[in-house]
Amino acid sequence: MNEYRLLIETSDTKGLVYSISKVLFEHNLNIVNNAEFVDNETNEFFMRTVITGSFDEKVLISDLEKVLPQNANIKLTNSNKKDIVILATKEMHCLGDLLIKYMAGELDANITAVVSNHDSLRELVEKFNIPFEYVSHENLSREDHEDLIIKAIKKYDYELIVLAKYMRILTPKFVNTFPKQVLNIHHSFLPAFIGANPYKQAHMRGVKIIGATSHWVTDDLDEGPIIAQDITRVDHNYSWEDMRDAGRNVEKVVLSNALDLVLKDKVFIYGNRTVIL
Amino acid sequence: MNEYRLLIETSDTKGLVYSISKVLFEHNLNIVNNAEFVDNETNEFFMRTVITGSFDEKVLISDLEKVLPQNANIKLTNSNKKDIVILATKEMHCLGDLLIKYMAGELDANITAVVSNHDSLRELVEKFNIPFEYVSHENLSREDHEDLIIKAIKKYDYELIVLAKYMRILTPKFVNTFPKQVLNIHHSFLPAFIGANPYKQAHMRGVKIIGATSHWVTDDLDEGPIIAQDITRVDHNYSWEDMRDAGRNVEKVVLSNALDLVLKDKVFIYGNRTVIL
Amino acid sequence: MNEYRLLIETSDTKGLVYSISKVLFEHNLNIVNNAEFVDNETNEFFMRTVITGSFDEKVLISDLEKVLPQNANIKLTNSNKKDIVILATKEMHCLGDLLIKYMAGELDANITAVVSNHDSLRELVEKFNIPFEYVSHENLSREDHEDLIIKAIKKYDYELIVLAKYMRILTPKFVNTFPKQVLNIHHSFLPAFIGANPYKQAHMRGVKIIGATSHWVTDDLDEGPIIAQDITRVDHNYSWEDMRDAGRNVEKVVLSNALDLVLKDKVFIYGNRTVIL
Amino acid sequence: MNEYRLLIETSDTKGLVYSISKVLFEHNLNIVNNAEFVDNETNEFFMRTVITGSFDEKVLISDLEKVLPQNANIKLTNSNKKDIVILATKEMHCLGDLLIKYMAGELDANITAVVSNHDSLRELVEKFNIPFEYVSHENLSREDHEDLIIKAIKKYDYELIVLAKYMRILTPKFVNTFPKQVLNIHHSFLPAFIGANPYKQAHMRGVKIIGATSHWVTDDLDEGPIIAQDITRVDHNYSWEDMRDAGRNVEKVVLSNALDLVLKDKVFIYGNRTVIL
């Protein structure tokens, strides 16, 4: 039986769980999984409920709207695979990891295309019978190149865009074209080492741990809401290239874990933070 | 305002959250925090709700009983500090960690006494003005010694007994005297290295990671429900004594974290597992 | 310039480093990297020295033999890529990870073939233009099947055999055919959960951390010298299948890290342990 | 038998290990442990050798000077406990952890005094019969207060000064008074969240991992060479105070591990980094 995910974000009021669960009960729905969170500082309420059963979506939403505060954000998604477009540059580890998971049936997504500013990943991508779009940035302004990238993405179905080590800075235009739809992997333990070549920075600083961060992309570079982070240990024996190589294992696992959470509709964006239910 | 924790364990039925939240709503209670879990294999439902407000405990429990399945386990605790008795042998790290936290006001518990089969920890314990009971096991059968230990514990108030590196094997009698009340720290990443001197075992086996496990004590030695685990990395440079020393940092943090979860009534025992809400 | 790795294992004696470094100095070699370890319990000495320079291998070895104890084990390897044959069954994550690394040029090895007891990985392997050998075990005794597997391996060049989730139990014959050449990934934090379906075992036991272990294969199943281990956290929300899925990320990273150490000749087998220099 | 630690830092030259080991051999010394590191970028050589035997220190040093480059830094320490003075402010967790280790005989140091800008830790410190110096900063300029702190420290024997959550900013004068002698614990995963209240910063940024960093103190606040780092996981359920509480376990373990490395003379300061042998 198909599962649905009911996602509610609203200001907290007394009796909220009661009101919501009453509606679900009256619609005769089965609750497979339920998780809530209230931010006691801001009084914001989040709920993710996995339901099964037969119901009329419009009536359900409408009944929920009746009992929820006016500002409530209600979303109902199904558990079908989501379409994603992947952007990458030259590195294979994150992209390759997603391709293998995809082929193994372990990714809750259809990869509809891979778009890159270099042609070097074509061979890998086409092995998996996925369209590859090469959009060179040479001799183009950032804006003109980005327009072509946006055009290339829009040729395909997508609910999400995954930056799998896409090494170009994005303009606000790009971000606003795909609001709350762009997931990035940053090769540092943000907010440490914002900006270019974080492994070189980490090596210079002599850190004993390096990390990676997957986050939603917002206007501020490397400043969007964090979804997942992980780390690995390094020592004085590591050159910055060794750190980069060690970091790759972390990057691919963090990106893949963050994507998994997003595909399961578990991630609420809340200001510049995430609530993961 | 005092907080109360409502703990419910029962078999899952449709409308359970609705029924419970209705009762809470009708009692005009504020829900500070709410977490649920349903084991979809066994259909068992767990809920921990933190509430504030003024209410009549008996009426609340009775109203909940009316809407819940007959087998439901309902418990209402307050957020007062719990009394604990600590058992230890010779090692200071776990005991000392709890004493420092206690003095710093960072432990949600009153340490009412420390009981030991050696006298060597007396000096430390008495610095903190806590009664110390020395119950030597010399020239005593295991059973006779344990009877004296039980007697020593019972001189004090306790809701929980914390084995902070108490290095004596407990009999079923002891376990049954304090059912679901005894918390242990085991110096291995259970179920690896069950039994005596796990660090020597770990060294012999050449592991690259060692750990510690905090668990409820049941009749089966080292087999009770696990609450918390953590690990640290070792390598060929570590003698077994080095592993033991490195392990101590893990042991004290794991025990302290597990105790914290228990003191906050977050740990449900479920068969041989725990659900932590 | 090509690098060489000088690997020495011997019983420790006074002046050992002096004697060895004298020979290296007299051969006018550059020492790029040097690491030693003495097991002070057993008095065993290990050294890995990375050297560059032009020298006569036979003379160098012979000069070293003159100054070292008779039982000394001296090995000189170069830094060329090693040939490896991979064995797998049905799961893609470990194999796929190695294939992506191989294609990206991040593996210090040539994958000369993949051998499997199922045909389902053929499509993946042949995408990377690597020979795939399907050796079904159906209607064959364990011994007969293994003979065919050995035959299939021997058709290719190999210095190492990597079991990338090869789910068949190996006989002593297999192990003795490829002594100190077979690397395995076990899907548990050994020695916890030896044997079949460790994730089901872990779930039953209610652990809060799961892991993976890469080790040399010896006659005793899951008992060989450990090279690398890593872990990830789980909780009561994880079914055993969720644990398996979470474990896959750990498995592939641990196998890949262990293989990397082996390919760089950093791993000494020492009794049932490893020394990693 | 007493152990000595020979610490050499110099520019690398061919035959360096040979020259050094020749001197050690000629002095008839036993090498218990030996570790080297060459930074191949800068050609800097580091060696830590643990030796036993009877020898004339001056002759040994002089013989080593003869074979080493002129800029070589040679140091010979013994394995006696080092005197340390601890500075703290109000928090007990790091200080308490060191006191418990000290009493348990697990610290390779004598704590000769604790100096604080508050009087609240006196009760704890005096339990352990250690002198406590209260130097209030009230109504004093930073400089005047620091002069009194320096005076208080100098009343006692010290080889190292350990800042166990001493929450005052230090002036260059202080740093220069105790060059390469001041160890700090910073309550963040540096270089993330430099400056005041890193847990509030971490909470605002919505990180999923928090950490702690122990480093040598230099003129630049929070910028000195890092010795040890560790992390723990947090999520949206953590208020900043919860992060702080969770961070305390990390802080005390990181500080204690870093101090242990320093007390064993394993830490070389190298520019703004450390080499740990």
CATH of the structural domain B82-276, one choice from 3.40.190.10, 3.40.50.170, 3.40.50.2300, 3.20.20.140:
3.40.50.170
> What residue spans define the domains of chain D?
3-78, 82-276
The token duo for A71 is: 């500002």
Q: Which residue of D has its CA nearest to A203?
A: D273
**Is there a contact between D205 and A192 if contact means CB atoms under 8 Å apart?**
no
Pairwise CB contact (< 8 Å): D32 & C40: yes
d(CA A206, CA D10): 20
B229 touches chain D (CB under 8 A): no
Q: Which of A21, A29, A48, A233 would best serve as a mutation to test chain B binding (most B beta carbons within 10 A)?
A: A21
For position D152, what pLDDT does the model report?
Answer: 98
First to last CA, chain C: 22
ipTM over 0.85: yes
* B189 CB neighbour count, 10 Å cutoff: 29
Distance from CA of A45 to the nearest CA of B (A): 11
From residue B93, alpha-carbon distances to B88, B212, D135 in Å are 10, 13, 30
Specify the CATH number of the domain C3-78: 3.30.70.260
Ordered DSSP codes for C87-111: EE-S--HHHHHHHHHHHTT--SEEE
The catalytic residue positions of D are 222
Which of D100, D127, D249 is the closest to B93 by Cβ? D100
Q: Which positions in chain A touch D191 (Cβ < 8 Å)?
A: 192-193, 205, 207
Contact yes or no for D270/D277 (Cβ under 8 A): no
Cβ separation C25–D32 shorter than 8 A: no
Average pLDDT score over residue span B63-87 = 96
Average the pLDDT over D157-166 and give the result.
Answer: 98
Query: Across all residues in chain C, what is the average pLDDT?
Result: 95
Catalytic residues of B, by residue number, are 222
Tokens of C104: 């990206």
D209 CA to chain A: closest CA distance, Å?
7
Question: Closest to C103 (Cβ–Cβ): which among A124, A248, A253?
Answer: A124
Phi, psi of B11 (to 5 degrees): -75, 145
Q: From A187, B212, B92, select the one nearest D128 (Cα to Cα).
A: B92
- B3-78 against B82-276: fold identical: no
The DSSP string of C185-205 is EESSSTTTT-SS-HHHHHHHH
* C residues 33-72 lying closer than 8 A (beta carbon) to D: 33-36, 38, 40
> What is the pLDDT, as a whole number, of residue B1?
64
Mean pLDDT of all residues in B37-60: 94
What is the structure's pLDDT at C219?
A: 84
For chain C, residues with pLDDT lower than 50 are: none
Q: Which chains touch B (3 or more CB pairs under 8 A)?
A: A, C, D
B22 and A22 in contact by Cβ < 8 A? Answer: yes
d(CA C91, nearest CA chain A) in Å: 8
> Is cis: bond before C225, omega within 30 of 0?
no
> What is the spatial order of strands in the sheet that C226-233 belongs to?
C132-134, C109-116, C82-88, C160-163, C182-186, C209-216, C226-233
Residue-level pLDDT at C1: 64
Q: Would the CB atoms of D25 and C18 count as touching at under 8 Å?
A: yes
Q: How confident is the model at residue B23 (pLDDT cuts 50, 70, 90)?
A: very high
Asked if C257 lies within 8 A of A245 by C-beta distance, the reply is: no
Residue D114: pLDDT band with limits 50, 70, 90: very high
Best probe of the D interface among C1, C14, C33, by most D CBs < 10 A, is C14
Residues of A in contact with C128 (CB under 8 A): 127
Residue of D nearest to B233 (CA): D230
Residues from chain D that touch A273, judged by Cβ atoms under 8 A, are: 205-206, 236
d(CA B191, nearest CA chain C) in Å: 5
Contact D238, D246 (CB under 8 A): yes
What's the pLDDT score for residue B196? Answer: 83
State the chains in contact with D (3 or more Cβ–Cβ pairs under 8 Å).
Answer: A, B, C
How far the first Cα of chain D sits from its last, in Å, is 22
Residues 156-195 of A with CB under 8 A from D: 189-193
Are residues D96 and D86 in contact, defined by beta-carbon separation less than 8 angstroms?
no
Question: Distance from first CA to last CA of chain B, Å, rounded?
Answer: 22
Q: In chain D, which residue's Cα lies nearest the Cα of B250?
A: D253
CB contact under 8 A, C14 and D35: no
Flag whether residue D92 sits within 8 Å of chain B, measured between CB atoms. Answer: yes
Q: Does residue D265 surpass a pLDDT of 70?
A: yes
pLDDT of residue A67: 96
CA distance D209 to chain C (A): 13
pLDDT at D48 over 90: yes
Whether B209 and C193 lie within 8 Å, measured CB to CB: no
Q: Å from D216 to nearest chain B CA?
A: 22
Residue C103: which of A92, A104, A256 has the nearest Cβ?
A92
Q: What is the dihedral of CA C75, C76, C82, C87, to 10 degrees?
A: 0
pLDDT of res. C96? 98
> Which residues have CB under 8 Å from D115's CB, separation 6+?
D85, D86, D87, D88, D132, D133, D135, D149, D152, D153
- Per-residue pLDDT reduced to its tens digit, D233-259: 999 999 999 999 999 999 999 999 999
The per-residue pLDDT for D10 is: 97
Whether residue D32 lies within 8 A of chain C, CB to CB, comes out as: yes
Yes or no: say if A97 and C104 are a contact pair by the CB < 8 Å rule: no
Which of A191, A225, A274 is facing D192, going by the closest CB pair? A191
Disruptive mutation site among D92, D100, D124, D251 for chain B (greatest number of B CBs within 10 Å): D100
Using a CB-CB cut-off of 8 Å, the residues of chain D touching B100 are: 92-93, 96-97, 99-100, 124
Give the mean pLDDT of chain D.
95
Q: Are B257 and B214 in contact (CB under 8 A)?
A: yes
pLDDT of residue C25: 94
Q: Is there a contact between D261 and D227 (Cβ–Cβ < 8 Å)?
A: yes
D residues 245..264 contacting B (CB < 8 A) = 245, 248-249, 253, 256-257
Q: How far is B181 from chain C (nearest CA, A)?
A: 19
The model carries a pTM of: 0.96
Q: CA angle A116-A119-A122, nearest 5°?
A: 85
- Quote the CA–CA distance of D250 and D226 in Å, as a whole number: 15
Q: How confident is the model at residue B244 (pLDDT cuts 50, 70, 90)?
A: very high
Rounded to an integer, the average pLDDT of D96-121 is 98
Whether residue C245 and residue A106 make contact (CB cut-off 8 A), yes or no, is: yes
pLDDT digits (tens, 9 = 90+) for D180-218: 999 999 998 888 888 888 999 999 999 999 999 999 999
Single-letter amino acid, residue A102: Y
* D229 in contact with A, Cβ within 8 Å: yes
Blockwise average pLDDT, block size 10, chain A, 277 residues: 92 94 94 92 95 93 96 95 98 98 97 98 98 97 97 98 96 95 93 87 93 93 92 95 96 98 97 95
